[in-house]
Amino acid sequence: MHTSASRLVGAQWRKSRHSGKLGNCVELAAVPGGARVAVRNSRFPDEPALLLTRAELGSLLSEVKAGHFDDLLEGVG
Phi and psi at 40, nearest 5°, equal -140, 165
- Number of separate domains in the chain: 1
Residue 13, domain extent: 2-73
pTM of the complete model: 0.78
Q: What is the DSSP string of 18-56?
A: T--TTS--EEEEEPTTSSEEEEEETTSTTSEEEEEEHHH
Q: What is the pLDDT of residues 13-51, one digit of tens each?
A: 898 877 777 767 889 999 877 789 999 988 888 888 999
